[in-house]
Amino acid sequence: MKDPTRLYNRRNFLRLGFYGSGAGMFGYGSLIERRTPRIERVTCPLPARHAGLDGLKIAVMSDFHHDEFHDDTLIGGAVETMNSLKPDVVFFPGDFISRDVSGMDALVGHFQKIEARVGAFACLGNHDQWNAPKGVAKRLEQGGVSVLKNAATELRAPRTGERFVLAGLESAWSGDPDLAKTLRGMNGDVPVLLGWHEPDPFDTITDGRVLLQMAGHTHGGQVCAPFYGAIRLPQYGRKYVAGLYGDERARLYVTRGIGSMGVPVRFCCPPEISLVTLRAKTGDEDANRA
Ligand SMILES: [Fe+2]
């Protein structure tokens, strides 16, 4: 007959190990990984016809949710890091808040320190649009960030003078995005860089002027399992989770974002500051392929 005391002790030991490792992972994800952003340097290949945008640098940061688990040390440091990357354009693809604008003044205080040669721009995310679209947009504009809400503006690359359109759409989940209306009146030959919070609607873009969509929304899953990936993903963010997608026709970049939502934890999915550099193919690269 088995000694019940031994069985009891073994069970307790296993239970203790299970809860202990769970608490350890939560502590690591909450205190360390969530507060340790990674710089992702991404090269976005340009079609030959838009080689004039070669070298344009766009810093992307999204999904702040700054009212929920706001961390001013994290955001302050992230803005300093962005400045050190010397971007031409800064773009924020939305979700500045989760529920209300209580964190917006602090967030905008950090944004006022942004240094970008062309400027800082944003589109709104599903949470911004659901909860306080006017309040979020007003505060961003006060902080020097231009909000593109189904709107577009023509700009020039600072080194080459090449023209490009920067456009922003309303959230696919909570807004009324209208790309045709947004680009109406824009020069037909000028390439478009598009901010659109949710990544999966990338498949619906048929306008050949769109060179690149910049999206967030997924948080990269926020909590991921090793060798498996994201455990849970939101609507409109289940196909394109994180990274660069697309082909010569158009590209999509999805950032994991900087903040957290739901639980103050990131695991196997660190916060991200992205630097997307547009790069034309060189003659050498063509020769290498031949
Ligand atoms: Fe979102």
Q: Render pLDDT for 25-54 as a digit per residue (tens, 0 to 9).
A: 778 788 788 989 999 999 999 999 999 999
Mean pLDDT of the chain, nearest integer: 91
Cα 94–75–129 angle (5° rounding)? 20
Q: What is the pLDDT of residue 290?
A: 31
CA 90 to centroid of ligand 1, rounded, Å: 19
CA 9 to centroid of ligand 1, rounded, Å: 46
Q: What is the pLDDT of residue 43?
A: 97
Mean pLDDT, residues 263-274 taken together: 95
CA 263 to centroid of ligand 1, rounded, Å: 15
Query: Over 70: is that where the pLDDT of 16 sits?
Result: no
Domain ranges of the chain: 32-289
d(C-alpha 266, C-alpha 150), whole Å: 32
CA 283 to centroid of ligand 1, rounded, Å: 40
Neighbours of ion ligand 1 (CB under 5 A): 95, 125-126, 217
Give residue 287's pLDDT band: very low, low, confident or very high (50, 70, 90).
Answer: very low
CA 127 to centroid of ligand 1, rounded, Å: 6
Q: What is the pLDDT of residue 24?
A: 74
Name the nearest CA neighbour of 128 among 90, 93, 87.
Answer: 93
CA 131 to centroid of ligand 1, rounded, Å: 12
Mean pLDDT, residues 226-253 taken together: 96
Query: Over 70: is that where the pLDDT of 3 sits?
Result: no
Mean pLDDT, residues 59-78 taken together: 95
CA 167 to centroid of ligand 1, rounded, Å: 18
CA 286 to centroid of ligand 1, rounded, Å: 39
Query: Over 50: is that where the pLDDT of 261 sits?
Result: yes
CA 74 to centroid of ligand 1, rounded, Å: 19
CATH number, domain 32-289: 3.60.21.10
Mean pLDDT, residues 251-265 taken together: 96
CA 218 to centroid of ligand 1, rounded, Å: 7
CA 68 to centroid of ligand 1, rounded, Å: 13
Give residue 21's pLDDT band: very low, low, confident or very high (50, 70, 90).
Answer: low
CA 86 to centroid of ligand 1, rounded, Å: 27
CA 163 to centroid of ligand 1, rounded, Å: 30
Give residue 90's pLDDT band: very low, low, confident or very high (50, 70, 90).
Answer: very high
CA 136 to centroid of ligand 1, rounded, Å: 14
CA 234 to centroid of ligand 1, rounded, Å: 8
Q: What is the pLDDT of residue 17?
A: 57
Give residue 13's pLDDT band: very low, low, confident or very high (50, 70, 90).
Answer: low
CA 249 to centroid of ligand 1, rounded, Å: 26
Query: Over 70: is that where the pLDDT of 276 sits?
Result: yes
Query: Over 90: is that where the pLDDT of 19 sits?
Result: no
| pLDDT tens string 182-202 | 999 898 889 999 999 999 999
pTM of the model: 0.90
Q: What is the pLDDT of residue 42?
A: 98
Torsion of CA 135, 137, 139, 142, to 10 degrees: -140
CA 230 to centroid of ligand 1, rounded, Å: 15
CA 288 to centroid of ligand 1, rounded, Å: 41
